[in-house]
Chains A and B, each alone.
Chain A
Amino acid sequence: MLRMCGITKRYGTVVANDRIDLSFAHGSVHGLLGENGAGKSTLMKVLFGLVTPDEGFIEKDGRRVEIGSAADSIRLGIGMVQQHFSLIDDFTVAENLVLGHEPRRRGLLDLDSAHQQIQELSDRYRFRIDPLQRVGDLAVGARQRVEILKALYHGAEILILDEPTAALAPHEVDELSRVLLELREQGRTVIFISHKLGEVVSLCDRVTVLRDGAVGGEREIEASEREPGTARTDLVGELARMMVGRDLPEPPPHDTVAGDVVVAVVDAADGERLGPVSFTISAGEILGVAGVEGNGQTELIELLVGVRRCRKGRIELSGDDITHWSVRRRLESGLGHIAEDRHGTAIAEHLDLAHNVTLGFDRIEPMARARRTWLSLVSMKRFASGLVTRYRIQAGGVTDPISSLSGGNQQKLVVGRELCRSPLFFIAAQPTRGLDVGATAFVHEELANLRRKGAAILLVSLELNEVLALADRIIVMSDGHVAGEMASSDVDTVTLGLWMTGEASTSTALAS
């Protein structure tokens, strides 16, 4: 029995974990559900010794234990399988497993005994892993089993699996479920972190839902509720409510009536993970895109900006077919874009403020002069200092590198730059990620202003609260598709939760 008592972890003013009490029983699969940012990862990092909690303690079999590092937690029999594997492709399974604890005989590496042990372990839990195989030759699902095997080899009784099914194909998920149930049979504890309600319901004996850093609900799952039927549908609905349920923020004041359709996306697909996706946005409307990270939002943004090829379908902007337009042409025709990954795509850290505000303006007067034969540094600096003054950006000087600014001030500069395009169509992707309260309010206010001016706005955010607070309509993305759409005036959090967790079919069952 492992107990976490009153675990609290704060990052600045953000409370990632708020007095969380949890206990994990021997021989069980314990699900941990929650949205992005609900505090699942922090809690598990605390358990695995990667994060030291501000308050609270951990008990194992009734005795209080201190977990100060991953080494401590491994000694206590806790193993963690991260989403990103830490295996060496060119090593065999056995070599990967013994890494760091190489068995020796007379000073030499003794892989033979390791092979035997690993083979026994693999047979015991029916892993179907050959210790002599090169990891690079294994499929993703098999690699994941190697990771689990590694944790077991190092003596794990309690296994933390961080979104283990995210990268797996359906048949690999089945294989994983089989292994997990086998582990449970043999008395091990599995902590299963997931966004997907369906998997949690089919696999777990008990599920804890985290919401906004605190325990939002906890529940045993009876065997009868696993089978398809009403009981299961009710359970899924209940869990979705626990996960999303909250005091809904005030819907935005409808001081503008949505005008004509500005943006129309019709069956757009990138030929890879995205689509086909269809939606429209009218003038003076904010369309919110909700969903769990990695469900095609990034691809959708790239498609709309024009850095990702649209293989099927079409994108229209004010009646023009812009499907195959260059990024440049789109920007010059009224597209503005706050990038999802500020450091990756919105700014160049080593360049100064003046150069960073010129992104996308380098062919436009007054930056480019005399038919673009020269670039006016004076105009660039003026533009930057204009933005600095107007948006009260804390900056030393416009010739300082942008990396000298805080994240919030960098974002303000990016927002200011993009608003200067007088956009007809504005994409705000995670516009407040990593920002403090003040900067967040600033961004929200600017978006509301832009909406009042009649722009069509696409707001993509992992923060459901943000989407609910700002958007007029909401679409939910799941697995590269639009799982559903609803007006923010009649939001139904259960349905929203089901869409986000890929349970669209259950939602129709609930509705009927």
Chain B
Amino acid sequence: MTRGNDALAEALASATESIRSAASPSGSSKLLGSALSFLAILVGALVLAIPVVYLAGSNPLDAYGALLSGSVGDRRAIAESLISMTPLLFAGMAVAIAFQTGLFNIGAEGQLVIGGLAAGYAGASLDLPGPLHLVAALLAGFVGGALWALIPALLKARRGVHEVITTIMMNFVAFSVSQYLVKPGGLLVSKTQPQATEKAASNALLPRIWEPTRLHAGVLLALAVAVVCWYVIYRTPFGYRLRLTGANAKAAEFSGISTKRTIVQAFMLSGGLAGLGGAVEVLGVHGRYFDSFSPGYGFDSIAVALLGALNPFGVAVAALFFGMLRAGSIRLQSDAGVSRDMVTVISGLVVACVALTPLVRRLRSGATHRRRGRPTEPSDGASIGLDGSRPVPVTDPAVGGSVGSV
């Protein structure tokens, strides 16, 4: 392991000042660039939604006004936005980390449900002193999600089964299993409340941090985890392995990285984060596991991850936006008379706009190329058929005994 060091040191010794000047400006311009594309996507989606709102029979201005007041209009609205942001941030990071590794984790919803169930059960059934119970319940959520992701991970690494198929299927399995476990007479069902587990012990709950609103400490945990994730992805050898596997798995393999192991690790981390999202929602908002407690956070998280450009900080901002949409959707319905489903439309449009960005970029770079006057191939034969003046003494198509031609 020390073999490379002298040569390395030699190379390092010849390092120049140039990198410092080379490194920093591109860093800040990159940040500006991603902020701009973030805004462009948001504005694009909101503008594209206008005709839909209009067709739904409402005034778009009223609708957006209602969305805004429902999400930041008062203390309660802000708190609700942050509450919705929390599971979205966890699940969004889950999807983003998988994406960074080159994996499409469509199963965040299932992992989140299983994580919530595990946390709800651990919160109710364990008996641990003080905050230890909370930690254990959260951990149960993480482990539940991670194990749920382990199945598609192993199938992918060992057998090459495409993870999109398996994670989608695991979603349905998760929904059915959790339903089964809390149905009347189910293994984990509460004695007093159907379709739920027992209430979690009070020391297993996430504390409220902004009375009288429902805002709980989960949002702080989510932000802290985002910072940790950023560090792990961009500043550790593990994160480097993830990103290299995502960028070029074969090159990773040739440089000594076990891509199979990396895939399994990344998948479990991803599932664990989604599970933690479910756990936080259960322990912070509901106090117990309810069947279908998630309104589809795991599905929205795909849009969140894409909008956040797979960077945990970007994901945090994107999760905030989606949290606001979700919180505002209640007022959207009551004040502007637009169905809450408009929020789903907007999130779909966000994904569409994200998908459009490479196209926009290509169009723009194409335009620059043209301005620079990119040298074109000598179009010698390209214009055949258009250019009648060319000598094209093509012989009779049905030459010499050809059978059944044209």
Bound complex: CA A489 to CA B391 (Å): 55
Which residues from chain B contact A368 at a C-beta distance below 8 Å? Answer: 237
Bound complex: CA A420 to CA B4 (Å): 6
Is there contact, CB below 8 Å, between B236 and A373? Answer: yes
Chain B residue nearest in CB terms to A152? B403
Which residues from chain B contact A398 at a C-beta distance below 8 Å? Answer: 19, 22-23
Is there contact, CB below 8 Å, between A421 and B11? Answer: no
Is there contact, CB below 8 Å, between A397 and B3? Answer: no
Bound complex: CA A29 to CA B200 (Å): 85
C-beta contact mask, B87-107 vs A, less than 8 Å → 1, else 0?
000000000000000000000
Is there contact, CB below 8 Å, between A337 and B397? Answer: no
Which residues from chain A contact B392 at a C-beta distance below 8 Å? Answer: 66, 72
Is there contact, CB below 8 Å, between A333 and B254? Answer: no
Which residues from chain A contact B257 at a C-beta distance below 8 Å? Answer: 327-328, 362
Is there contact, CB below 8 Å, between B15 and A385? Answer: yes
Is there contact, CB below 8 Å, between A421 and B4? Answer: yes
Which residues from chain A contact B403 at a C-beta distance below 8 Å? Answer: 117, 120-121, 124, 152-153, 155
Is there contact, CB below 8 Å, between B8 and A420? Answer: yes
- Decide yes or no: A346 and B6 within 8 Å by CB, A52-B380, A77-B402, A326-B258 being known contacts: no
Interface size on A, residues (CB 8 A): 88
Is there contact, CB below 8 Å, between B240 and A355? Answer: yes
Bound complex: CA A154 to CA B6 (Å): 65
Name B's interface SS: loop
Bound complex: CA A385 to CA B400 (Å): 66
Bound complex: CA A157 to CA B401 (Å): 9
Is there contact, CB below 8 Å, between A397 and B255? Answer: no
Which residues from chain A contact B391 at a C-beta distance below 8 Å? Answer: 64, 66
Which residues from chain B contact A421 at a C-beta distance below 8 Å? Answer: 3-4, 7
C-beta contact mask, A63-76 vs B, less than 8 Å → 1, else 0?
11111110110011
Which residues from chain B contact A363 at a C-beta distance below 8 Å? Answer: 1, 237
Bound complex: CA A270 to CA B2 (Å): 31
- Decide yes or no: A385 and B16 within 8 Å by CB, A155-B405, A362-B241 being known contacts: yes
Is there contact, CB below 8 Å, between B384 and A68? Answer: yes
Bound complex: CA A152 to CA B401 (Å): 10
- Decide yes or no: A386 and B12 within 8 Å by CB, A117-B403, A155-B406, A372-B237 being known contacts: yes
Bound complex: CA A452 to CA B282 (Å): 67
Bound complex: CA A76 to CA B398 (Å): 9
Interface set, chain A 333-357, CB cutoff 8 A to B: 333-334, 337, 339, 344-351, 355
Which residues from chain B contact A124 at a C-beta distance below 8 Å? Answer: 403
Give A388 Cβ to nearest chain B Cβ, in Å. 8
Q: Does B56 contact A (CB under 8 A)?
A: no
Is there contact, CB below 8 Å, between B1 and A332? Answer: yes
Chain B residue nearest in CB terms to A121? B403
Is there contact, CB below 8 Å, between A52 and B378? Answer: yes
Q: Which of B117-125, B242-250, B328-336 forms part of the interface with chain A?
A: B242-250
Partner of B404 from the list A49, A117, A326, A339 (CB cut-off 8 Å) is A117
Which residues from chain A contact B22 at a C-beta distance below 8 Å? Answer: 385, 396-399
Is there contact, CB below 8 Å, between B399 and A77? Answer: yes
Q: Does B359 contact A (CB under 8 A)?
A: no
Partner of B4 from the list A75, A305, A350, A361 (CB cut-off 8 Å) is A361
Bound complex: CA A387 to CA B391 (Å): 55
Bound complex: CA A390 to CA B12 (Å): 10
Bound complex: CA A334 to CA B244 (Å): 22
Which residues from chain A contact B406 at a C-beta distance below 8 Å? Answer: 101, 154-155
- Decide yes or no: A420 and B236 within 8 Å by CB, A155-B397, A157-B400 being known contacts: no
Is there contact, CB below 8 Å, between A351 and B244? Answer: yes
- Decide yes or no: A337 and B236 within 8 Å by CB, A355-B244, A420-B7 being known contacts: no
Bound complex: CA A348 to CA B16 (Å): 25
Partner of A397 from the list B26, B243, B390 (CB cut-off 8 Å) is B26
Interface set, chain B 363-406, CB cutoff 8 A to A: 378, 380-382, 384, 390-395, 397-406
Bound complex: CA A76 to CA B254 (Å): 48
Which residues from chain B contact A419 at a C-beta distance below 8 Å? Answer: 7
Chain A residue nearest in CB terms to B399? A77
Which residues from chain B contact A390 at a C-beta distance below 8 Å? Answer: 11, 14
Bound complex: CA A378 to CA B261 (Å): 27
Give B140 Cβ to nearest chain A Cβ, in Å. 26
Is there contact, CB below 8 Å, between A69 and B7? Answer: no
Is there contact, CB below 8 Å, between B402 and A156? Answer: yes
Is there contact, CB below 8 Å, between A385 and B18? Answer: yes
- Decide yes or no: A386 and B381 within 8 Å by CB, A364-B1, A398-B22 being known contacts: no
Interface set, chain A 364-398, CB cutoff 8 A to B: 364-368, 372-375, 377, 379, 381-387, 389-390, 396-398
Is there contact, CB below 8 Å, between A422 and B240? Answer: no
Partner of B381 from the list A67, A358, A382, A389 (CB cut-off 8 Å) is A67
Partner of B253 from the list A187, A307, A362 (CB cut-off 8 Å) is A307
Q: Does B5 contact A (CB under 8 A)?
A: yes
Which residues from chain A contact B130 at a C-beta distance below 8 Å? Answer: none
Give A78 Cβ to nearest chain B Cβ, in Å. 10
Give B23 Cβ to nearest chain A Cβ, in Å. 5
* Residue among A67, A72, A385 with max Cβ neighbours from chain B (10 Å): A385
Partner of B255 from the list A117, A118, A327, A382 (CB cut-off 8 Å) is A327
Which residues from chain A contact B236 at a C-beta distance below 8 Å? Answer: 372-375
Which residues from chain B contact A351 at a C-beta distance below 8 Å? Answer: 243-244, 247
Chain A residue nearest in CB terms to B17? A385
Q: Does A242 contact B (CB under 8 A)?
A: no
Is there contact, CB below 8 Å, between B26 and A400? Answer: yes
Is there contact, CB below 8 Å, between A52 and B26? Answer: no
Q: Does A360 contact B (CB under 8 A)?
A: yes
Which residues from chain A contact B400 at a C-beta distance below 8 Å? Answer: 77, 157
Interface set, chain A 33-67, CB cutoff 8 A to B: 49, 52, 60-61, 63-67
Interface set, chain B 8-32, CB cutoff 8 A to A: 8, 11-16, 18-19, 22-23, 26-27
Which residues from chain A contact B250 at a C-beta distance below 8 Å? Answer: 344-345
Q: Does B251 contact A (CB under 8 A)?
A: yes
Q: Does A359 contact B (CB under 8 A)?
A: yes
Q: Does B323 contact A (CB under 8 A)?
A: no
Give A423 Cβ to nearest chain B Cβ, in Å. 9
Chain A residue nearest in CB terms to B259? A307
- Decide yes or no: A359 and B11 within 8 Å by CB, A377-B235, A397-B22, A398-B22 being known contacts: no
Is there contact, CB below 8 Å, between B7 and A422? Answer: yes
Q: Does A114 contact B (CB under 8 A)?
A: yes
Give B10 Cβ to nearest chain A Cβ, in Å. 8
Bound complex: CA A307 to CA B257 (Å): 10
Is there contact, CB below 8 Å, between A375 and B255? Answer: no
Bound complex: CA A373 to CA B11 (Å): 24
Q: Does B256 contact A (CB under 8 A)?
A: yes
Q: Does B239 contact A (CB under 8 A)?
A: yes
C-beta contact mask, A120-144 vs B, less than 8 Å → 1, else 0?
1100100000000000000000000
Bound complex: CA A255 to CA B220 (Å): 68
List residues of chain A with CB under 8 Å of any chain B CB: 49, 52, 60-61, 63-69, 71-72, 75-77, 101, 114, 117-118, 120-121, 124, 152-157, 187, 305, 307, 326-334, 337, 339, 344-351, 355, 358-368, 372-375, 377, 379, 381-387, 389-390, 396-400, 416, 419-422
Which 3 residue pairs of A and B lie closest in terms of their CB atoms, listed nearest first? A68-B381, A397-B22, A328-B256
